[in-house]
Structure 1
Amino acid sequence: MHTLEQLRSGALAGITRLSLRAGLNTFPPEIYSLADSLEILDLSDNQLYTLPDDLPRLHKLRVIFCSNNPFTTLPVVLGRCPALTMIGFKSCRIEQVPAAALPAGLRWLILTDNCLEALPDALGQCTQLEKLMLAGNRLRSLPDTLAQCRQLALLRIAANKLGGLPDWLASLPKLAWLAYAGNPFCLQLEQDASQADELSDIPWHQLQVGALLGEGASGHIYQAGLADPLTPGEQTSVALKLFKGGITSDGLPRCEMAAALQAGQHTGLIPLLGRLRGHPQMREGLVMAQIDEGFDNLAQPPSLASCTRDVYPADRGFSLPVVLRIASTIAAVARHLHQRGILHGDLYGHNVLYRQDGCTLLSDFGAASFYDPDKAIAVALQQIEVRAFGYLLQELLAHCPAEYVAQPARSALATLQAACLATVPSQRPLFTDIAPRLEAICAMPL
């Protein structure tokens, strides 16, 4: 975090990233002193409602964040910034997106948690768009011109007022991560899932909440002790996820909870033990088995530079047996979810927990959505997620040592990866085919 005093004194000369949170209600002109270096500008959590007409003076500006400001219109001046590729205006009050506000080179647009009822057709002219985040608005439809955005890989349209998914969605060649829960057209499926679970209720008073283990967009995860009602003094170590409520970048916590419940039990999922009841502040939660300390995230989330692709540590490597075990587990879990009418929506390495021996768990249902397996669109939705799995295979193989290149199993896995990444979505296999193919590959001699 920087200060206006630092900026005015010249202490920030030459920096490429500036972050100012100072209750600003006007754009500080001193920012222009950084015109020859500034690439990332973060003015979130201020009181701005407009941006100056001469903003393009920041001719190297690639990324701008203005979340949690009282904008009602996406500023038109953004469209004239020559190098701008990423725009983030989350949790403002935006009602309108003028066509002129969209720069030609836009790759990443975040308009989560605003007041949008429509988007301009001109969005389809942003042919470099890879990531579009629109959860928590009032959209009743998407512009058909979005079908021209052939680079679009991630789309978040949860918690809007959509009556259905557009037909062109299934034809996007690179779409891999889709979240649409919390819209009217899938409300009944979500309600059915929430009411059908057979998990037991776990009263709040039986839990002794300990240290915070982690925090995600939708909630906090704590270590906890679960008292045994039949054996006084005995406790089982568990994990407790308390949901925050409200909108996240992926959707609604209640939809995440419904998906986690509907997912049921699988060796590749973190076991659910029960649904929390009786929290003092009426917060919802899930009680889960506590996983071993030996598990780690397979990757880190995408960076500003990678946009939609995960980031792996430079020294991370996986032997071929480990790659096969990870891939087989994730394919089996995805098949299990798809058979239950669940699209994970965020099938990424950063949501995969693994041990050094390849034991694997898929986590995080924050972007999960429901579909009816008997509807025509079901196959197309599954094939979208197959592309995400293809990316995961690509990343695993990229971190597999060269000594395995000549192995038949590696060659077979590369062939499967190419099939999963087919740019014609209808040509991709389904997980009902992928899982047994991986079982066969795993049986090959290594």
Structure 2
Amino acid sequence: MDSLEDLRAGKLAGAQRLKLACGLTEFPREIFQLADTLEVLDLSGNRLSSLPDELPRLQRLRILFCSDNDFTELPEVLGRCPQLEMVGFKANRIATVSGGALPAQLRWFILTDNRIDTLPDEIGRCPRLQKLMLAGNRLRTLPAGLADCRRLELLRISANHLETLPDWLLTMPRLGWLAFGGNPFCTGLEDAALAHDPIATLDWADLQAGEQLGEGASGVIQRALLRGEPPQAVAVKRFKGAVTSDGLPHSEMAACVHAGAHPNLVPALGKLADGADGAGGLVMGLIPPAFRNLAGPPSMASCTRDVYAEGTRFTPQQALSIAGGVASVATHLHARGLMHGDLYGHNILHDGEGRVLLGDFGAASFYRREDAALAAALERIELRAFGCLLEELAERCDPTPALRAGLGALVSACLNERPSSRPSFAAVEHLLADCARQLPA
């Protein structure tokens, strides 16, 4: 965190990054002293409601965060910033987004948790757009112009007022990560899952809380003992009860409950009623300590692709086992009318021997399996995400020439920019099994 005092004293001269969170109500003019060098500006957590018309003077500015402020409209001046490619205005009070406010170089656009009911058709004039975060707004439709954003890979439209998904969305050539839970056309399915799925309803009094294991956007996970004979060590996720970048905790809980049992899922043992803070929770099996994340989440540079630790390598057997486990659990979920929505290495745990567990259902979405065309289209979208994962695994192992050719063909099929031409997850399972049989014993 930088200080306004250091900025004013000239101590930050030449800085490429600047982060100020000190109750600002006006844009500090001293920031223009960094016009020749500043690339990343983070003004989140202040009380700003406007930006100066001179903002394009920051000629190298690529990334701008203004989350948790008091903006009621997206500033028009953003559209005149020549290098701006990542814009974040999460958790403001934005109701108006005009076409003129959209930077031409936009790649990553975050408008989560605002009051937007309409997006401009001019968004289609952002050909580089890859990642669009719109959860927690008031959208009733999506602009037809968005169909022209043919590089769009990740879309979050959960917790809006959408009555359906537009047909053109299901045919976008590179879309692989889609979340739409918490909209009117699927909330009934979520409610039914929580009301009728065969999972125990537990009370917070049934648990003896232990240390915190982790924290994510939607909740806090801690170790606990489930009282009984004998007591059982478990993990408890206490939901925060707020809109996240992916959607609503209610949708996540419903998906975890409805996912059912599978060897590559962390078992849900019970759902917890709302506590004193109004947030519910979920009791899950405790993950063995040998498991660790397959990858790290995307960086600002990689945008939609995961970041792997330097030197990460897999044997062909490990890579095929990981890919086969993920394909198997994806087949299982889609058979139950669930789209995971966040099929990424950073949401996959592995034990180093090829065994995997798929986690984080924060972006999961329900759909009606009886709508065969919709079900097939959503599965093919998720196949694109799987293709990215398979490509990352293949790049990090040393397969035989025959296996390399087989994996390359499968990656190409999953990444086909004509979604209807992609295979199903069940077909992918069989193809991976054929690849595994080619490995030496």
Give TM-score, length-normalised by structure 2: 0.98
Q: Partner letter of residue 37 of structure 2?
A: S
Report what 2:56 is aligned to.
56
Q: Distance in 1 between matches of 2:221 and 2:79?
A: 40
Q: What's 2:265 paired with?
A: 269
Give the distance between the partners of 1:35 and 1:80, measured in 2 at CA: 15
How many residues in Structure 1 have an aligned counterpart in Structure 2?
A: 439
1:116 aligns to what?
A: 116
Q: Secondary structure at the match of 1:169?
A: helix
SS at match of 1:440: helix
Q: What is the rounded CA distance, in whole Å, between the counterparts of 2:278 and 2:116 in structure 1?
A: 30
Q: Which residue of 2 aligns with 1:414?
A: 408
Correspondence 1:253 to 2:249: yes
Corresponding position: 1:380 with 2:377: yes
Q: Does 1:435 align with 2:429?
A: yes
Structure 1 residue 203: deviation in Å? 2.2
Cα distance in 2 for residues equivalent to 1:411 and 1:224: 47
Matched, 1:281 2:274: no
Deviations 1:366-423 (A, max 9, x none): 000011112121111110000000000000011113xx242x2332122111100001
Q: How far 1:278 moved relative to its partner? A: 6.6
Provide the residue aligned with 2:232 in structure 1: 236
Aligned to 1:194: 194
Share of identical aligned residues, percent?
54
Counterpart of 2:388 in structure 1: which amino acid? Y
- Mapping 1:88-127, distance limit 5 Å: 88-127=88-127
Is 1:390–2:379 an aligned residue pair?
no
What's the counterpart of residue 163 of structure 1?
163
Distance, in Å, in 2 between the alignment partners of 1:33 and 1:364 is: 43
Deviation per CA, 1:286-313: give whole Å up to 9, x if none.
Answer: 1111111111111111111111111111
Give TM-score scaled by structure 1 length.
Answer: 0.97
Please say which of residues 311-320 and 200-209 is displaced more in the overlay: 200-209
Using the TM superposition, give the Cα deviation of residue 273 of structure 1 relative to its aligned residue in structure 2, in angstroms: 1.2
* Separation of aligned partners in 2, 1:63 and 1:420: 31
Aligned to 2:272, what secondary structure does the other structure show?
strand
Once residues 147 and 20 of structure 2 are traced to their aligned partners in structure 1, the CA distance between those partners, rounded to angstroms, is 37
Asked if 1:343 is matched to 2:359, the reply is no
Q: Is 1:320–1:410's contact at 8 Å kept on the other side of the alignment?
A: no
SS of 2:303's equivalent in the other structure is coil
Equivalent residues in 2 for 1:119-158, closer than 5 Å:
119-158=119-158
Cα distance between partner residues in 2 of 1:281 and 1:22: 29
Q: Does the residue aligned with 1:26 lie in a helix, a strand or coil?
A: coil
Per the alignment, in what secondary structure is the counterpart of residue 241 of structure 1? strand
Q: Which amino acid aligns with 2:88?
A: G
In structure 2, distance between residues paired with 1:146 and 1:283: 35
AA of the residue aligned to 1:112: T
- Which consecutive unaligned segments of at least 5 residues does structure 1 have? none
Change (3 A) 1:398 1:274: same
* CA deviation profile, 1:142-183 (whole Å, cap 9, x unmatched): 111111000000000001001100110122100000000111
Structure-1 separation of matches of 2:130 and 2:288:
36
Structure 2 Cα separation of the partners of residues 198 and 373 of structure 1: 19
Contact 2:241/2:278 (CA < 8 Å) preserved in 1?
no
Equivalent runs, 1:359-378 vs 2, <5 Å: 359-375=355-371, 376-378=373-375
Instruction: Tell me how far apart the structure 1 counterparts of residues 231 and 265 of structure 2 sit (CA, whole Å).
Output: 23
In the alignment, the residues of structure 2 paired with residue 358 and residue 275 of structure 1 have an alpha-carbon distance, to the nearest angstrom, of 30
Write the distance in 2 (CA, Å) between the matches of 1:339 and 1:293. Answer: 30
Deviation string for 1:258-302 (max 9, x for gaps)?
011110010000011111247343431111111111111111111
Residue 70 of structure 1 aligns with which residue? 70
* Whole-angstrom CA distance in 2 between matches of 1:281 and 1:84: 40
Offset at 1:235? Answer: 2.4
Instruction: Give the Cα–Cα distance (whole angstroms) in 2 for the partners of residues 112 and 282 of structure 1.
Output: 22
Contact 2:274–2:281 under 8 Å retained in 1: no
Distance 1:328 1:164 in 2: 32
Task: Work out the CA distance in 2 between the residues paired with 1:270 and 1:68.
Answer: 34
Alignment match of 2:313 (pick from 313, 317, 321): 317
**1:71 partner amino acid:** F
Gap runs ≥5 in structure 2: none
Matched, 1:329 2:322: no
**What CA RMSD, in Å, does the superposition of the two structures yield over aligned residues?**
1.1
Once residues 324 and 379 of structure 1 are traced to their aligned partners in structure 2, the CA distance between those partners, rounded to angstroms, is: 24
Q: Partners in 2 of 1:63 and 1:197 — Cα distance?
A: 44
Aligned residues of 1:42 and 1:65 also touching (Cα < 8 A): yes
